[in-house]
Amino acid sequence: MKSEKWTVALYISLCHRFPAFRKMTRHWMYDAMARNLRQETWAFMNYGYACGEADPIPTLEPDDEPNRLSYQLYHHLAVKVPIENGTVLEVGSGRGGGASFLHKYLRPMRMTGVDFSQEAVKLCQKLYHADGLEFIQGDAECLPLPDESYDVVINIESSHCYGSVPAFLNEAVRVLKPGGHFLLADIRQRKALSELRGYLSASSLTILEETEITSQVVHALEMGHESRLKSIRNHVPKVFVGSFMEFAGSEGSNVLNNLRNGNSVYMSFHCRKDG
């Protein structure tokens, strides 16, 4: 167990030091997960969001309740902007739950999910079939989409995997219509937060709202621990269970410990493209 924790810590360190290594290995990892872990009930890969007293609480159909915490992270951001009948792009759509739920509950005219993993895109194309909802393969740093084609770009817990966040932000600005909205929620080391703010400011985006949501994410991780633990033990090969526990932010993981002790912070940003 100690050797496994050391291996995970080394991997995380290498990811922080070498962005190209981070991007390459995450691409491989997400391809492998989509290829081998095809459970339809595993629709989200984010840490979730526990609503506070001031938060609007989304109404979900009974079959969607198991994914409430993960969807609430999307809802926390998405309700800040007009989405109904608009065009929405999710960059880093993963297993498709976020794009599917946004399309179902907030009703954009067109909802596009883009992901670097071809296997993840294939899985989404197999699982989700609805008018106005599509999934395509593409690199966040070079989106295969035309200029000024979306009203909203949303990115949930994905940008920390990229080789170049500035390149991604430039692409997000490019595909946004003038006056369009950019919504970002992600984890960062606290010491790297000013760097992220600098990237946003340099990308011609105006930050309209910046919110630390660490406590809401930690609470969601605590609330969802037992269900994640059960899912990992039931579906993940035993040799990879420890790594998945770290990846999922389970009790005892570096992810959760660093959020609790303040070394890491979870932020959401609402930005607008001027013009």
Of 71-80, 104-113, 228-237, which range is least confident? 228-237
Structure tokens, 254: 């570096």
Of 30-39, 101-110, 175-184, 253-262, which range is least confident? 30-39
Task: Report the run of H or E that residue 267 belongs to, with start and end.
Answer: strand 264-273
Task: Answer whether 26's CB lies under 8 Å from 20's CB.
Answer: no
Give the pLDDT band (50/70/90) at residue 1.
very low
Position 161 pLDDT exceeds 60: yes
Average pLDDT over residues 215-228: 91
Query: What single letter denotes the amino acid at residue 66?
Result: P
Which residues touch 141 (CB under 8 Å, ≥6 apart)? Answer: 162, 163, 164, 167, 168, 171
Structure tokens, 161: 């995997």
The confidence score (pLDDT) of residue 172 equals 98
Query: What single letter denotes the amino acid at residue 39?
Result: Q
Please state, rounded to an integer, the average pLDDT across all residues of the chain: 87
Structure tokens, 119: 């296997």
Give the pLDDT band (50/70/90) at residue 250.
confident
Average pLDDT over residues 120-141: 95
Average pLDDT over residues 26-37: 53
Average pLDDT over residues 215-236: 85
| Angle (CA) 100 233 157, round 5° | 40
Give the pLDDT band (50/70/90) at residue 7.
low
pTM over 0.75: yes
Cβ atoms within 10 Å, residue 144: 10
Q: Which domains does the chain have, with CATH numbers?
A: 2-273 (3.40.50.150)
Task: Answer whether 96's CB lies under 8 Å from 128's CB.
Answer: yes
Give φ, ψ of 122 to 5 degrees. -60, -40
Position 213 pLDDT exceeds 70: yes
**Pick from 29, 103, 37: which is nearest to 71 by CA?**
103
In tens, the pLDDT along 51-70 reads 998 899 999 999 999 999 99
Of 22-31, 205-214, 238-247, which range is least confident? 22-31
**Pick from 188, 141, 145, 137: which is nearest to 168 by CA?**
141
Chain position carrying tokens 């399309």: 103
How many residues would you count in the chain?
275
Task: Answer whether 112's CB lies under 8 Å from 88's CB.
Answer: yes
